[in-house]
Structure 1
Amino acid sequence: MEDCIFCKIIKGEIPSKKIYEDDNVYAFYDINPGAPVHFLVIPKEHIESVNSLNEDNAEIVSHIFKTINKLVSELGIDKNGYRIVNNTGKDGGQTVHHMHFHVLGGRSLAWPPG
């Protein structure tokens, strides 16, 4: 998608503070963090949302969660806990229409959020 901000970040057209990249996913720190540690993990393939998953692309979610598991351990937030957030669609609060998972940690997070 030419106008997708996350696709532009993956291509290097928009700068980001990358923390991980492989052939299938890209992880970077959120520019407006909601916690001391706040990063996003996105598939490199443009998938609009969880609603766009199908038999051809669904395994990317497993890879994303394996990546999250690796990164939370490296960043030291695995012991005390963290939150993984995925917003889907307008009513779900999705503002960038490229599937992504926020990972927030580093302090106690209230529930419900907000």
Structure 2
Amino acid sequence: MTEDFYCEEVLSGRTSVQKVLETERVLAYHHTRPFYPVHIVVIPKRHISSLLTLEESDNDLFIELMSVVKQVAGEVVSEHGACRVITNLGKYQDSKHLHFHLAFGMPLNKG
């Protein structure tokens, strides 16, 4: 995997995705290799390394990002009755681009 899958593959258009919701600065799409029956990723369209690297100047973007997370999570809850909202940091963060996973269901068997 590249250091930043989201910039290098998704936002560049090299990897096509099934969009769920898109704003001028945020993209929500179905995970390209889902770990759950419903697995949506929400990313800012501008590179931000992680939740820990957000700066005060990113506040408006972060509010927009959380608004998209909230809207999509609400749709998942409405359709399925539950939703997880997950972000990873440090060694847990495979792709160094701020992103949130919205998931429903038990993990799919990846073995």
TM score, norm. by length of structure 2? 0.79
**Which stretches of structure 1, 4 residues or longer, exceed 6 Å deviation after superposition?**
none
Matched, 1:43 2:61: no
Q: Percent identity over the alignment?
A: 28
Which residue identity lines up with residue 97 of structure 1 in the other structure? K
**1:44, distance to aligned residue in structure 2 (A):** 0.6
TM score, norm. by length of structure 1? 0.77
Matched, 1:95 2:100: no
Higher-helix-fraction structure: 2
Whole-angstrom distance in 2 between the partners of 1:59 and 1:47: 13
Query: In structure 1, the residue corresponding to 2:56 is in which secondary structure?
Result: coil
Give the number of equivalent residue pairs.
103
Whole-angstrom distance in 2 between the partners of 1:108 and 1:59: 34
Contact preservation (8 Å) 2:37, 2:106: no
1:30-109 correspondence to structure 2 within 5 Å: 30-74=31-75, 76-78=76-78, 80-90=81-91, 93-105=92-104, 107=105
Query: In structure 2, the residue corresponding to 1:27 is in which secondary structure?
Result: strand
Kindly indicate whether structure 1 or structure 2 has the higher relative contact order, using CA contacts under 8 Å at least 6 residues apart.
2
Query: CA-to-partner distance for each residue in 1:18-54, whole Å, 9 max, x for gaps?
Result: 2221111011111222222111000011000011111
Could you say if the C-alpha distance between residues 72 and 12 of structure 1 is closer, same or farther in structure 2, counting changes exceeding 3 Å?
Answer: same
